[in-house]
């Protein structure tokens, strides 16, 4: 079984026009290194006006996939819809509820917001309000929380209309939401302070943030104490629901919109001019797929070979992956976690290739925080080598790029397209 995350978001095409693309994207939870995949794309002068017209084709196609799975190479793979990861406006639109800045705009609980004349926005100062439930939502039991349009997503079997819509997306809630609000508030003085921070204050604040430790107190309660209830906006309130989303789905990075935002940027770069934008995107996608298919076929037909020019030796392992005895191209990691510098390569009587190389005597993590660099195949290596050994090309985990660091050390960075290429 594989679990898929769904993302729906708007993408302005040009700064000088109101035309927008609204892609429906997905990615596979079990394979986070795979980029997002497009399911469908809407194009118009504004966001879709009718949620049923926009989402019904998607719902009609995904229901059979969830019920019957998909067949790949004669194997049936079960599909599970894990969650929807969207920003606040898109979440409200696809669910058919009032916007996030409405008084009944919280997707997770029944808090009723109130308008603040000080901050000129709707605020949500109450804590620990009763949570919404899927059953009450489906019978439209939350009054003004619902709009006149009922979302076709309710037809999807097993979908919880409350729990399966993530609000704890780190990109929109934490980085671009709460943290950006605090930083701009501190800098320009619109969090209840008079005036704005000087450059000296900003430098002191930067130094303090670098050494900060997470407080034991609850953030929202401290926020109210320091800044007042008039600044408890939707983003600040949604911090209360992070624990619920993490308990439901796991680590925050697994419910992040970053992979989808990255793919949206790629889609936008496919548009070259103002006319026929959707056709441009589709054509460029088809061209890319054709190129990748040709590349895969070429890769399948490439037989590893050795090329010699004097003392220079190069081993071509597959398409876009070669290793040589020149310093910059000589480094690779084995499946036994040996870091090796290639010295030579030979073929046996059966045409098999043997690499001759010297493993390094000592290597370590280049950094320890936020995670050990070795988890990313990044190492600090001292240039002292052991005696030579032989290796099969299938022993290679990845090839490295060597970056000089000090006189006797280098930093090795993995070439991503070579990982497990052997």
What pLDDT is stored for residue 216 in this prediction?
Answer: 44
What pLDDT is stored for residue 193 in this prediction?
Answer: 62
List CB contacts of 263: < 8 A, sequence separation 6 or more: 25, 35, 36, 38
- Which pLDDT band, with edges at 50, 70 and 90, does 219 fall under? confident
Distance in angstroms (rounded) separating the CA atoms of residues 150 and 72: 34
Residue 176, strand partner residues = none
- Which pLDDT band, with edges at 50, 70 and 90, does 386 fall under? very high
**Res 120 pLDDT > 90:** no
Distance in angstroms (rounded) separating the CA atoms of residues 203 and 71: 57
328-343 core/surface letters (b: 16 or more CB in 10 A; e: else): ebbbbbbeeebbbbbe
Environment class of residue 415 by beta-carbon count within 10 Å: exposed (0-12), middle (13-18) or buried (19+)?
Answer: middle
- What tens digit of pLDDT does each residue of 234-262 get? 999 999 999 899 999 998 989 999 999 99
What pLDDT is stored for residue 184 in this prediction?
Answer: 84
DSSP state of 44: E
- What tens digit of pLDDT does each residue of 306-322 get? 999 999 999 988 877 89
Least confident span in 203-217, 307-321, 363-377: 203-217
**Res 410 pLDDT > 60:** yes
Domain assignments of the chain as residue spans, ordered by start: 2-268, 305-418
Between 192 and 254, the higher pLDDT residue: 254
Q: Please, where are the H alpha helices in 211-312?
A: 219-227, 234-238, 242-249, 258-268, 277-301
Query: CA Rg, the chain, in Å?
Result: 27
What pLDDT is stored for residue 73 in this prediction?
Answer: 85
- Asked if 90 and 84 touch (Cβ cutoff 8 Å), the reply is no
Q: What is the dihedral of CA 97, 8, 82, 27, to 10 degrees?
A: 180
What pLDDT is stored for residue 137 in this prediction?
Answer: 95
What pLDDT is stored for residue 152 in this prediction?
Answer: 95
Report the mean per-residue pLDDT for the chain: 88
- Asked if 306 and 347 touch (Cβ cutoff 8 Å), the reply is yes
pTM: predicted TM-score of the whole model, two decimal places: 0.69
- What tens digit of pLDDT does each residue of 34-83 get? 889 999 999 998 889 999 999 999 999 999 999 999 998 889 999 999 99
What pLDDT is stored for residue 249 in this prediction?
Answer: 93
- What tens digit of pLDDT does each residue of 269-294 get? 898 887 888 999 999 989 888 877 76
The encoded tokens of residue 344 equal: 């030579």
């Amino acid at each position: 079984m594989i679990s898929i995350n769904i993302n729906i978001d708007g993408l302005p095409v040009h700064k000088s026009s109101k035309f927008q693309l609204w892609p429906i994207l997905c990615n596979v939870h079990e394979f986070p290194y795979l980029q997002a995949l497009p399911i469908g794309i809407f194009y118009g002068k504004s966001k879709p006006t009718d949620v049923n017209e926009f989402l019904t084709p998607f719902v009609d196609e995904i229901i059979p996939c969830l019920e019957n799975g998909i067949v790949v190479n004669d194997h049936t793979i079960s599909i599970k819809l894990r969650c929807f990861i969207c920003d606040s406006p898109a979440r409200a639109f696809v669910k058919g509820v009032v916007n996030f800045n409405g008084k009944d705009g919280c997707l997770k609980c029944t808090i009723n917001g109130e308008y603040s004349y000080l901050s000129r926005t709707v605020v949500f100062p109450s804590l620990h309000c009763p949570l919404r439930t899927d059953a009450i939502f489906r019978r439209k039991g939350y009054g003004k929380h619902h709009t006149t349009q009922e979302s076709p997503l309710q037809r999807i079997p097993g979908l919880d209309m409350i729990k399966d819509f993530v609000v704890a997306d780190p990109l929109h809630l934490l980085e671009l939401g709460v943290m950006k609000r605090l930083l701009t508030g501190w800098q320009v003085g619109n969090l209840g302070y008079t005036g704005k921070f000087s450059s000296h204050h900003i430098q002191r604040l930067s130094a303090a943030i670098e050494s900060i430790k997470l407080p034991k107190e609850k953030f929202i309660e401290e926020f109210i104490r320091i800044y007042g209830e008039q600044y408890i906006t939707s983003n600040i309130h949604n911090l209360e629901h992070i624990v619920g989303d993490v308990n439901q789905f796991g680590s925050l990075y697994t419910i992040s919109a970053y992979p989808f935002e990255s793919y949206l940027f790629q889609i936008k770069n496919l548009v070259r001019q103002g006319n026929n934008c959707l056709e441009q995107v589709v054509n460029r996608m088809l061209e890319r797929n054709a190129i990748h298919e040709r590349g895969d076929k070429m890769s399948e037909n490439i037989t590893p070979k050795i090329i010699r020019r004097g003392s220079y030796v190069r081993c071509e392992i597959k398409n876009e992956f070669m290793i040589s005895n020149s310093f910059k191209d000589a480094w690779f990691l084995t499946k036994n976690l040996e870091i090796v510098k290639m010295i030579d390569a030979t073929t046996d009587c059966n045409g098999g290739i043997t690499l001759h190389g010297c493993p390094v005597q000592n290597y370590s993590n280049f950094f320890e925080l936020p995670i050990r660099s070795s988890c990313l195949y990044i190492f600090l290596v001292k240039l002292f080598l052991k005696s030579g050994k032989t290796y099969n090309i299938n022993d290679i985990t990845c090839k490295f790029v060597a970056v000089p660091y000090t006189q006797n050390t280098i930093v090795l960075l993995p070439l991503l397209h070579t990982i497990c290429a052997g």
